[in-house]
Chain A
Amino acid sequence: MIFSKTKLILALLFILIFTLLALPRITFQINDQTYVIPEFSIFPQDQARIGNFKKGMDVFNSVEATARLDFGTQGLDDSQKFEVLKQTIERVQNRLTQVGMHDVDLRGEFGDDEYRLIFNYPEYYQQIPAITNLLTRKGEITFVNSQATTEIDFKDSDINSNIEVGYLPGLQSHIRFTFPESKSLEIQQALVDRFFLMSIDGTPEVQIFQYDQNDLTNFTLRGLPNTPESIGDIAFRDTYINILRTYFNEDAPLEFSMSVDESLSIIPPSVNELSVRFIALFSIMMFVALTIVTLIKYKFKGGIFFLLASATYLSLTITLLKYISAPLSLVSVLTYLVLTGVTSILIWRMIEVDNNEEMKFVLKKIRHIGVIIVVISLFTLRFIPDLGRTFEIFATFLIFGLSYLLLGLINFKVLIENLILNYKNNAK
C-alpha cells in the first residue's frame, strides 16, 4: 500500500514537471515593468517562435523568395528553356528533400522571357536570401590551394561517400571528411600549406584542415565555411553544410546559374480565420468539454482520472514537440487535435477497466498501438521522400506513439491502480 502511494506521488510529480515544461512563457506588464513567467526556459527563444514553437505554414505569414535562371548568351528556344526550368525545379526540390526542408514550397514560373523559381518559406526561417542562394547554386565543387591559385585534384579520393556534419566544442558545426588509409598520400599532398580551400561555383568558401592529432591518425579532414553568414550564425552554418553535402550527391552541377532577388514578399496565411488565440481557446474548450462528459459518464473518480491522464499525455507530448522545435502549422495543429480525440477514447477505455488482468491487457494494447505508430512514423519519415506537409502529420504521430509507449509502461498503470481499481474494489 505504501509502495503504491509512493508510485502515485512519483506519477503526480511526473505530471507536474512536464506540465511546467509544457506551459508557455507568459509576458505581461504592470506599471511599465515587464514580467516573464517562468523566468527561465530550457527551450530556445527568438522572434521566429511563438510559445517555444516555430511559426509554421498556413497559420502565420510565409515569406516568398525568387531566383531567376540566367541563360547567358546561349541561344535556347522557349521549349528548351522550359525544359531547363523543369529540370532545375526537380534538382532544387531534391536538395530541399535531402536537407529535410519539407515545409518549404517550391514552384516554377515563366513569362516575358523570364524563368523563375519561387520559394515559399515558413516565417521561422532566418537568412532566407542566403539559403535560397545556396539552394540554387550550380554546385560545382573544386579544391584549390591556400592562396586559391592552383587547383588540387582531390575529387578522385572518394570524397563523395565520406562527407558528414561534424561537431567539436572548439569548432562547433563543421564538415568532416573521413578517408581510408590508402588515401594518406593525397591528403598529405593537399595539406602541404596546412590547409586548402574548397570552392563552390568558382568561389573559395570552405577552409579544409586537420584539427588535432586524432585527425592525423584517423585520416580525417575538417572543413569550416568562411562566408560572413555562416561565421556569425551557427544555425545557418548547419543549413549551409547540409545543403553543401547535397552537391556531392549530384552526378553533375546545374547547367545554368541563377540570381536571387534580395527583396522578399510576405504572403498572408491561407487560412486567415485560424489565429493562435482561436487554436488555444478551441483546445481548452475541447479539453473542458471532454472532462465534463467524462465526469457525467464516469462519475467523480473517473473524471479525476481523465483529468490526470490527459494532463500526463498532453504535457509530455507538448514538451516533446517543443524539444524537437515543431512548427505550429495548420497540419500539425489539426493532427494534434485529432490525436487528442483518439487518446480521449483510449482513456475512456481505461476507466472501464474492472480488474488487474484487464488493466494489463488494455495497457498492453496501448503499448502495441504506440509501437505500431512509432514504426509507421519512422518508416514514413525515413523512407518516403517528398511528403510535403504530410511530413508534419507523421512527426506529430511519432511523438504520440512515443508517449503511448512510455505512459503505457509507467504512468497510466499507477493512475488506473490508484484511481480506478482501488475505488471499484472498495465499492464491491
Chain B
Amino acid sequence: MQNKIKKITKRVVIIFLPILIIASILFVIVNRGFYFSDFKDSFVVEVLTSDNSLQDEFIQNFQRRDDLARVDGNKLYFQNSDLGEVSLEAELNTRENLEYNIYTEIANNREVLINNVILTIFILVVAVLSVFYLYSAESKKFNLKEYLNVFSPFFIASLTYLITSIGLLSIISRLRYIQEWDFLPIILSQIIFTVLFVISFRKIERDEALTFEIFSARLYRSLRLYLVQILIISILTVLTFSVAFGAGVFFISLIFIFSILLFSTIIFWVSTIRIGYPKFRVRVKELKVKRVVSREKGEGSIKDTSVKESAKKKKKPSKKKKNKKKKS
C-alpha cells in the first residue's frame, strides 16, 4: 500500500512539478521582466500645439532619452522614469508658443497578462490529459512510464517554447514597446503545437507488430512532417507580409513567431532522438527480417516493397565491389 502511494506521488510529482516550476518562472518574468510595455504605468507628454514643425522639434529633443518607451502621434510615453525629471526636461525644451500637457497613464491589463500565462499553462495541461486519454483509448499496450517517455519530447519542446518566447519578449521589451497582442502569436502557436501533437496519431493501434518504440518513432516522424508544413506556411506568410508592408509591426511579430517555431522544432528534433528513433531503426530491421522469413515460409500477406528493394540490393553486389574482387 505504501509502495503504491509512493508510486502515485512520484508520478504526480513527475507531471506537475515541472508545470509548477515553469509557472513560477513565468510569473517572475511577467511581473518583473517587461521594460517597455502596455502592462506598465507611463508618464505621457502630450503636445497640444498643432504646428507640425514645432511638434517634431519638441519630440526630437526627447528621442535621446532611454526612458522614452514609445511615440504615438503627438504623445510621448515614458516608463521607468521620474515624473519631475520628465517635466523639467519638457519645460526646458519648450518654445514660447508650444503647449503641452503631462499626465500619468495607469495601465489596466495586468490581469490580462497573467491570465494569458495561466491560459498557456492550462493548454499544456489539457494537452497532457487529452493525449493520455487518447493513449488509453487507442491502445492498452503502453504503461504510464512509456507514456511519459513518449510525451516528454513534446512536453520539453512546449515548455522550452513557452519560456524562450516570453523570455525573448522580455529581452525585446528593452528595445521595442510590447503590446497586449504580442502575446497572441505565442498562445496561437502553443495551441497549434498541441493540435499537431494530437493529430499525429496515425493508424497505430491496428498494426499487430507494433511495439512501443515503433509507435513513438512513427508518432514523432509524422509530427515532424506537420511541423515542416507549418514552417513552410510560416515562411510564405512572412514573405507575403514583408512584400506587402515592408518592415512593419506585423512583420516583426511574424518573424518573431517564425524564429520561435524554428527554435522549438530544433529542440523537438533533438529531444525526439532520445526517444526511440535509433531504436526504431533497429526494430524496423528486425521486422524486415521477420517478414522476409515469413514470406520464404509462405506465411502472411504483408506487402513491403522496401523489403523487396533491399533484398534485390543485397542480391546484386555493386560494380565497385565486383572490380575489387577482380583485382584481388
Contacts and interface: CB of A to CB of B under 8 A. Distances in A.
A62 B260 CA distance: 31
Interface string B150-189: 0000000000000000000000000000011101110110
A112 interface: yes
A285 B249 contact: no
A273 interface: yes
A contact patch SS: helix
B132 to A, nearest CB: 12
B102 A111 contact: yes
A58 to B, nearest CB: 7
A386 B198 contact: no
Interface string A95-110: 0000000000111111
B198 A345 contact: no
Contacts of B108: 89, 93, 105-108
Contacts of B184: 331, 334-335, 389-390, 393
B15 interface: no
B240 A282 contact: yes
A3 interface: no
Given A361-B203, A386-B111, A390-B112, A342 B195 contact: yes
A273 B242 CA distance: 12
A330 interface: yes
B103 interface: yes
Contact of B123 (A93, A341, A376): A376
Interface in B95-117: 101-109, 111-112, 115-116
Nearest to A116: B103
Contacts of A357: 203, 206
A388 interface: yes
Given A273-B248, A384-B115, A388-B112, A393 B106 contact: no
B17 interface: no
B192 A338 contact: yes
B199 A349 contact: yes
B226 interface: yes
Interface in A324-342: 330-331, 334-335, 337-338, 341-342
B130 interface: yes
Nearest to B179: A270
Interface string A366-403: 10110011011000100011111110010001000000
Given A338-B192, A390-B116, A345 B104 contact: no
B143 interface: no
Contacts of B102: 111
A335 B130 CA distance: 22
Interface residues of B, number: 50
B242 to A, nearest CB: 12
A155 interface: no
A393 B118 contact: no
Interface string B53-84: 00000000000000000000000000000000
B119 interface: yes
B126 A110 contact: no
Contacts of A58: 181
Contacts of B23: none
A48 interface: no
27 contacts: A89-B108, A93-B108, A93-B111, A106-B108, A107-B107, A109-B106, A112-B103, A273-B244, A273-B250, A334-B185, A338-B192, A342-B192, A345-B196, A345-B199, A361-B206, A365-B201, A368-B198, A372-B126, A372-B130, A384-B122, A386-B111, A387-B112, A388-B109, A388-B112, A389-B184, A390-B119, A390-B187
Interface of A: 58, 85-86, 89, 93, 105-112, 114, 270-271, 273-274, 278, 282, 285, 289, 330-331, 334-335, 337-338, 341-342, 345-346, 348-349, 357-358, 361, 365-366, 368-369, 372-373, 375-376, 380, 384-390, 393, 397
Would you list the 8 A-B pairs with minimal beta carbon distance, nearest first?
A: A111-B103, A388-B112, A108-B106, A386-B111, A273-B245, A341-B233, A107-B108, A372-B130
Interface of B: 44, 101-109, 111-112, 115-116, 118-119, 122-123, 126, 130, 134, 179-181, 183-185, 187-188, 191-192, 195-196, 198-199, 201, 203, 206, 226, 229-230, 233, 236-237, 240, 244-245, 248-250
